[in-house]
Amino acid sequence: MATKEIAGVQVELDDEGFMTNPEQWNEDIARALAAEEGITELTDKHWEIINFVRKDAKEKGQVPTIRRMNKAGGIATKDLYELFPNGPAKKAAKISGYPKPQGCV
């Protein structure tokens, strides 16, 4: 486990760069992580997904998969791929301050 300064905050990361403590997360960290993932601006639609991931993960105890985001969150799969290209569940989880979803390679 490593520690890295992101948006002025020291955060704990796993070997793949995912935050290990979601309580350290804030919106500035989300913007910085998004930029690292090639997402230059977080739109209202991005925030809708980020907020769903955070709420669902806190309630269910695990990070939602694409299927759960689609079914429970009402977020179209094509929207997920447009907003978080090349691995939407992983990128959405990372930007939301959570570990990689189970089942993601």
What is the C-alpha R_g of the chain?
13
The DSSP bridge partners found for residue 19 are 13
H-helix segments, the chain: 27-36, 44-60, 66-71, 77-83, 88-95
Active site residue 104: yes
Which listed residue (20, 87, 100, 104) is catalytic? Answer: 104
Please list the active-site residues.
104
